[in-house]
Amino acid sequence: MRAIHRSAVTIAAAMLAVVTMSGAAQAKPADGAWQGCPYGAVCIYGQNVNPWANPHPTNVYWSYGAHNLSNQYGDHFIINNQSGIASVSLCTGYNAVNCHFFLDAQYAESVNLTPYNSITLNNR
């Protein structure tokens, strides 16, 4: 019984370490989905929601090109679960104008979305 308890504590500590990481995170999902984000998609999670604790994205984007954001303020996790050279850009203008932030495929990061008005999925 103590061995099971120690294993549970070790797993919990490892999960906490992943959750508290700052900067970009990278992972290779075994089944394709990554914290609820389908393989091939880009996902945004609710404000101050940690996808490792609550793997339910609020926005899922599948198609390349610009997508305007609406009512996205404060810190949100973004997971780019695309493959290869596909990236994500965050832009201060609508329709992918004035892009500043880039996230490569298979990376995740918490970003303050307040200054951003659009997201674009890129295949290059």
Tokens 């994500």, located at residue? 88
Map residue 21 onto helix, strand or coil: coil
pTM of the model: 0.75
Span 117-121, average pLDDT? 97
pLDDT of residue 124: 77
What is the architecture, at CATH level 2, of domain 25-122? Sandwich (2.60)
* Average pLDDT over the chain, rounded to an integer: 83
Cα pseudo-dihedral 46, 49, 52, 55, rounded to 10: -30
pLDDT of residue 13: 37
Percent of the chain with pLDDT over 90: 72
Q: What are phi and psi of 31, to 5 degrees?
A: -100, 5
The angle subtended at Cα 93 by Cα 72 and Cα 60, nearest 5°, is 45
Rounded CA separation 110/24 (Å): 8
Binning pLDDT at 50, 70 and 90, where does residue 46 land?
Answer: very high
